[in-house]
Chain A
Amino acid sequence: MSLFHPFELVSNWLTFTIFNIEQGSQLASSVHFFIYDALKIFLLILLITHFMSTLRYYLPIEKLRVFLTKRKLFGLDYFFATIFGAITPFCSCSSIPLFIGFLQARIPLGVTFAFMITSPLINEVAIALFLGIFGWQITLLYIGAGILIGMIGGFILGKLKMEKYVADFVWKIDSKNQNQGNNKKESLIKVFPKISQEAFSIIKKIVVYIIIGIGIGAVIHGYIPEEFFDKYLGNNNFWSVPLATILAVPMYANASSVIPIIESLVTKGVPLGTGLAFMMAVVGLSLPEALILKKVLKWQLLLTFFAVVTVGIIIIGYLFNFLF
Chain B
Amino acid sequence: MKIQVLGSGCPSCKNLHQTVIKIVNNLNLVAELEYSTDVSKIVELGVMTSPVLVINDELVSAGKVPNKSELEKIISERIQK
Give A residues with C-beta under 8 Å from B. 61-62, 65, 91-98, 100-102, 104, 169, 173-175, 177-179, 197-198, 201, 292, 295-296
- A93: which of B13, B43, B46 is its contact (CB, 8 Å)? B13
- B43: which of A91, A101, A295 is its contact (CB, 8 Å)? A101
B47 touching A179, Cβ below 8 Å: yes
A177 touching B45, Cβ below 8 Å: yes
Q: CA–CA, A97 to B36, complex, Å?
A: 13
Which A residues lie within 8 Å of B51 (CB)? 93
Residue B25 interfacial (CB < 8 Å)? no
Which A residues lie within 8 Å of B46 (CB)? 62, 101, 175, 177-179
Which B residues lie within 8 Å of A94 (CB)? 8, 48-50, 63
Which B residues lie within 8 Å of A62 (CB)? 46-48
B39 touching A295, Cβ below 8 Å: yes
Grouping DSSP codes into helix (H, G, I), strand (E, B) and loop, the B interface class, with mixed when no group exceeds half, is loop
Residue B18 interfacial (CB < 8 Å)? no
Given A61-B49, A62-B48, A178-B46, CB of A97 within 8 Å of CB of B39: yes
Which residues B1-29 have CB closer than 8 A to chain A? 7-8, 10-13
B40 touching A173, Cβ below 8 Å: yes
Given A97-B48, A101-B48, 18 further pairs, Cβ under 8 A:
A61-B49, A62-B46, A93-B7, A93-B11, A93-B49, A94-B8, A98-B48, A98-B49, A101-B46, A101-B47, A169-B40, A173-B40, A173-B44, A174-B44, A175-B46, A178-B46, A179-B48, A201-B67
Which A residues lie within 8 Å of B12 (CB)? 91, 93
Q: Considering the complex, give the chain A residue whose CB is closest to the CB of B50.
A: A93
Which A residues lie within 8 Å of B8 (CB)? 92-97, 292
Can you spell out 9 A-B residue pairs with CB atoms less than 8 angstroms apart? A61-B49, A97-B43, A97-B48, A97-B49, A100-B48, A102-B48, A104-B43, A175-B43, A175-B44
Which A residues lie within 8 Å of B45 (CB)? 175, 177, 179
Residue B42 interfacial (CB < 8 Å)? yes
Size class of the contact patch on chain B: 20 to 34
Q: CA–CA, A101 to B43, complex, Å?
A: 6
- B48: which of A65, A173, A177, A292 is its contact (CB, 8 Å)? A65
Which A residues lie within 8 Å of B39 (CB)? 96-97, 100, 295-296
- A100: which of B43, B64, B67 is its contact (CB, 8 Å)? B43
B33 CB to nearest A CB, Å: 19
Which residues B61-77 have CB closer than 8 A to chain A? 63-64, 67
Which A residues lie within 8 Å of B48 (CB)? 61-62, 65, 94, 97-98, 100-102, 179
B9 CB to nearest A CB, Å: 8
Which B residues lie within 8 Å of A175 (CB)? 43-46
Which A residues lie within 8 Å of B64 (CB)? 198, 201
Which B residues lie within 8 Å of A295 (CB)? 39
Q: CA–CA, A197 to B66, complex, Å?
A: 10
Q: CA–CA, A94 to B50, complex, Å?
A: 5
Q: Considering the complex, give the chain A residue whose CB is closest to the CB of B52.
A: A97
Which B residues lie within 8 Å of A178 (CB)? 46
Which B residues lie within 8 Å of A92 (CB)? 8, 10
Which A residues lie within 8 Å of B13 (CB)? 93
Q: CA–CA, A270 to B64, complex, Å?
A: 38
B40 touching A100, Cβ below 8 Å: yes
Q: CA–CA, A62 to B63, complex, Å?
A: 12
Which B residues lie within 8 Å of A104 (CB)? 43
Most buried by A among B12, B46, B59: B46
A97 CB to nearest B CB, Å: 5
